[in-house]
Amino acid sequence: MSNDNKSTSSTKTVFKYGEDDETIVDAVATTITSNADVDSSMYQDDEDEQTEVVAADKTSADYYFDSYSHFGIHEEMLKDVVRTKTYQNVIYKNTFLFKDKIVLDVGAGTGILSLFCAKAGAKHVYAVECSQMADMAKEIVKANGFSDVITVLKGKVEELELPVPKVDIIISEWMGYFLLYENMLDTVLYARDKWLVNDGIVLPDNASLHLTAIEDAEYKEDKIEFWNNVYGFDMSCIRKQSIMEPLVDTVDQNQIVTNCQLLKTMDISKMTSGDASFTAPFRLVAERDDYIHALVAYFDVAFTVCHKMTGFSTGPRSKNTHWKQTVLYLEEVLTICQGESITGSMTVAQNKKNPRDVDITLSYSLNGQRCVVSRTQQYKMR
C-alpha cells in the first residue's frame, strides 16, 4: 500500500456491524469520529450499561441501516467523483430514457440520484430509503423544489408497497466493497421482479468482479506478521484472525505483479439472487520476477443501455473511488518468475447467519522454479 494509506491504517474499514455508530462512521470519516471519540468518553457507566442492553436487542440488519443514518458516510459517497459524476452523466446525457418515465430509486440515501432523474424529466420518482437519512432526503427534495416529482418512502423495499403498480426504471447505487458486501443487490433484484415493467431498465445493468496479484511485503508485515511478536510476546492467535479479514485499501498500481483476470460478470436485468454466489477459476500470469503477498479483487460497473455505453472501474489502475480495492493476504509469500502462473478458484457466498456478510474461499497453487505451493484459505467480510 502507499505510505499515505499506512499513516491512516487505523481508520481502515472493519467488517463488523456489531459496534456503535461512532465505530461505523470511523470507517468512512476520520475527522468526524475524532470528535465522536471525545464525546463517547464522557458517557456515564449507567449510560454504557443501557447502551449494551439496546445493542443486544439489535440485529445486524439494524446496524446496517443505522450506519447509513449519519451524514458522514453520505458525504464520502457524494464526494466520490467517479461514482457520483458517472451516475449524473448517465442520467443527464440520456434524458430520452427518463423523459416522462416512472423511476424507482432503491437505497436513495440523500436522494441525489432521484434529484438527477427529476431534473432529467422523469414523470415521477419514488425514492426508497430505510435509514433515518430518509427524513433528510424529504427536506432536501422540498428545498430544491421537487416535492411534486419525488416521493420519499421510508422503509425496507421488501416491506413496503409503492403507490403505483409498476415502474419504468430502477436506479440504484447498490455496490458494496468487493462488489457484493452488504448484499444490497438482492434488494434491487427483489424490486426488479416486483415492480419493473417487462421492457423496463435497471441502472446500472452490468457488473463484473476482477482479480490480480500484488507484492506487498511492508504492509503485510505491519498488519499481519506484527502479531507474531508483540513486545516479546506471542500473539499469533490474533494473526490467524487478521489474515482472514480482507482489507479494503488503495493499492498502488506499481505493486501489481500479474495480469488482471475477470472472475464473474453479472447482468442485473436478468440474473437471479443465487447468481451472486459462485465459484470461478482463475489463472494469474506473472509479468515480472517478484514476490506475491496478496490477491486483490475489484469491480467494474457499466450502463450499457445508454446512447454511449458508460461505466467505471474500481481497479488499481483507475482513478480512486471510496470502494478502493479488496486485499486478501496469503499465508505464504510466493516467489514467482515471469511467465509462471498462479492457478486456482474463488468461491463467493453469502454468510448463512447474516446474508449481508460475504464468505470467500480461495484455493490456489503455484508450481514454479523457486516456489511450489498449494493451499486453500478462508476469508470472512464482516
Residue 197 covered by a domain: no
- 115-140 pLDDT tens trace: 999 999 999 999 999 999 999 999 99
Same domain for 358 and 250, yes or no, is: yes
State which of 173, 192, 224 marks the end of a domain. 173
User: With 70 as the cut, is the pLDDT of residue 22 above it?
Assistant: no
Which among 337, 314, 318, 322 has a CA at the least distance from the CA of 78? 322
In a domain, 35, yes or no: no
- Whether 161 and 211 map to the same domain: the answer is no
Q: What is the pLDDT of residues 233-285, one digit of tens each?
A: 999 999 999 999 999 999 999 999 999 999 999 999 999 999 999 999 999 99
Indicate if 137 and 264 belong to the same structural domain: no
Other beta carbons within 10 angstroms of residue 25's beta carbon come to: 20
- Rounded mean pLDDT of 355-364? 95
Same domain, 145 and 242: no
In a domain, 193, yes or no: no
Catalytic residue among 182, 215, 245, 340: 182
pLDDT at residue 53 is higher than 70: no
Query: Of 147, 173, 199, which residue sits at a domain end?
Result: 173
Q: Are residues 324 and 220 in the same domain?
A: yes
Give per-residue pLDDT as tens, 76-115: 988 999 999 999 999 999 999 999 999 999 999 999 999 9
Q: Within this chain, do residues 273 and 148 fall inside the same structural domain, yes or no?
A: no
Instruction: Return the pLDDT at 15.
Output: 37
Residue-level pLDDT at 12: 40
Residue 47 in domain: no
Extract the C-alpha cell encoding 155: 422503509
- Chain centroid, CA 1 distance in Å: 19
Question: Residue 5 domain-assigned?
Answer: no
Instruction: Mark whether 154 and 220 lie in a shared domain.
Output: no
Q: Does 367 lie in the same domain as 282?
A: yes
Find the mean pLDDT for residues 165-171.
Answer: 98
Q: Between helices 81-92 and 71-78, what is the axis angle to 10°? A: 70
Catalytic residue among 52, 159, 173, 225: 173
Tell me, yes or no, if 182 is annotated catalytic.
yes
Q: Stretch 33-44: mean pLDDT, rounded? A: 38
Q: Is the pLDDT of residue 39 over 90?
A: no
Q: How far apart are CA 285 and CA 185, in angstroms?
A: 31
Report the domain count for the chain: 2
- What's the rounded Cα separation, in Å, for the pair 79 and 60? 27
Whether 121 maps to a domain, the answer reads yes
| Domain's final residue, options 149, 173, 197 | 173
CATH of the domain at 273: 2.70.160.11
Separation of alpha carbons 262 and 297, rounded Å: 10
Based on the residue annotation, tell me whether 287 is a catalytic residue of this protein: no
CATH number of the domain that 121 lies in? Answer: 3.40.50.150
Residues 146, 223, single domain; the answer is no
Domain of 123 in residue numbering reads as 60-173
- Asked if residue 167 and residue 218 are part of one domain, the reply reads no
Instruction: Please indicate, yes or no, whether residues 143 and 277 belong to a single structural domain of this protein.
Output: no
Q: For the chain, give the percent of residues with pLDDT over 70.
A: 82
pLDDT confidence band for 66 (50 / 70 / 90) = low
356 within some domain: yes
Same domain (yes/no): 169, 211: no
Q: Tell me, yes or no, whether 26 lies in a domain.
A: no
Give Cα 72 distance to the centre of its chain: 16
Q: What pLDDT is recorded for position 183?
A: 85
301-335 b/e with 16+ CB inside 10 Å = b? bbbebbeeebbbbbbbeeeebbbbbbbbbbeebbb
Mean pLDDT of 341-369: 96
Region of poorest pLDDT, from 100-104, 210-214, 350-354, 369-373 = 350-354
84: phi then psi, degrees, rounded to nearest 5:
-75, -40
Q: What's residue 7's pLDDT?
A: 37
**How far apart, in whole angstroms, are the C-alpha atoms of residue 93 and residue 88?**
8
180 pLDDT exceeds 70? yes
pLDDT at 69: 57
